Structure 1
């Protein structure tokens, strides 16, 4: 993914982000601007608020193909509910409407056990980091 492709994309602010003045942890926003030299991404939220985050504090949904790949752990879901949630996310991605992507991000946000299988940081997506560790 490139910087230009990210503009207008729905992203999830890391739910466990600590000490950020905007206080929007776990919120979903739209990428409005990317300041690549400073590694800052400007988000706009539905209430017209704006905030700036580093690329490792924001998550995108993984592509459907990667959700169920062996590398992501998607096929090794710990419980049946985890697998169902991953399937719901993949199905919503197939529909592709903004509201569907929003709902998929909410499902991922509310189920931390599927974060490694369903989410990828913008930092990793842009190729700035090769290893992704998501924990709660």
Structure 2
């Protein structure tokens, strides 16, 4: 995903984010600007408030195909309720309307057990997370 593709996208502010001055942990916002050079994403919320976050503090929904992929197989089979929530998210994700994506993000937010299977950080989706290698 590129910076421009991210504009207008609904994202979830990390629910466990600590000590952020905006205090919008767990809220859903719309991306209005991305400054990948400084690793900042500008969000607007439904009450017209705005805030700036680092890209690793924001989550997107994974693509429907990735929700039940082999990579996430260990995380999405923990409980029946988790599996049901993943199924609901996949269904809403496929419908693709803004209200459906909003509802899917709320389901994911309210079930931390399925975060690894259902959410991906904006940092990772933009390709800003790099593998670090330690040399001797």
Q: TM-score, normalised by structure 1?
A: 0.93
Give the 3 Å change call, closer, same or farther, for CA 114–130 of structure 1 in structure 2.
farther
1:115 is matched with 115
Does residue 66 of structure 2 align to residue 66 of structure 1?
yes
Q: Contact 1:72–1:117 (CA<8 Å) still a contact in 2?
A: yes
Alignment of 1:33-48 (within 5 A): 33-48=33-48
The alpha carbon displacement at 1:76 in A equals 4.3
Aligned alpha-carbon RMSD (Å): 1.3
Bigger radius of gyration, 1 or 2?
2
Cα–Cα, structure 1 residues 60 and 74, in superposed 2: closer, same or farther, change >3 Å? farther
SS at match of 1:51: strand
Contact preservation (8 Å) 1:74, 1:83: no
What is the match of residue 81 of structure 2?
A: 81
| 1:7 is aligned to 2:7 | yes
The match for 2:54 is: 54
Residue aligning to 2:134: none
Q: SS state of the match for residue 113, structure 1?
A: helix
Between 1:33-42 and 1:99-108, the stretch displaced more is: 33-42
Local SS of the residue matching 2:18: coil
- 1:73 is displaced (CA, Å) by 2.9
Name structure 1 gaps, 5 residues minimum: 132-136
